[in-house]
Amino acid sequence: MKKTFKKNISDVSNLCNIPAEVIFHYIQEEWVFPADKQSLMLDEEDVARIDLINQLKEDFGVNDESVPVILHLVDYLNVLMRNLK
């Protein structure tokens, strides 16, 4: 049986070592879509996306205007990969 991974923003903030305000910003910008929108619970996919955004911004210097473009391309590649399987 697969365990369900759901964490609140505070837990993800600690896990990813970033302020909760940054995660709220990502959600507000619609870069991250919480698995449970009402209680803002995040799943593994959300955490991976937050990590990706942080890498783009911190390691590669990507600005806020470019983040959605890159995320769209990553999402598109993921769909293509799923379709190829």
Task: Sketch out the chain's domains with CATH numbers.
Answer: 9-84 (1.10.1660)
Q: HSE on the CB side for 2, CA within 13 Å?
A: 4
Residue 1 is predicted with a pLDDT of 47
* pLDDT by residue, tens only, the chain of 85 residues: 455 789 999 999 999 999 999 999 999 999 999 988 888 999 999 999 999 999 999 999 999 999 999 999 999 999 999 999 8
In this predicted structure, what is the pLDDT of residue 35?
84
Decide: pTM greater than 0.75: yes
CB within 8 A of 62, min separation 6: which ones?
56, 70
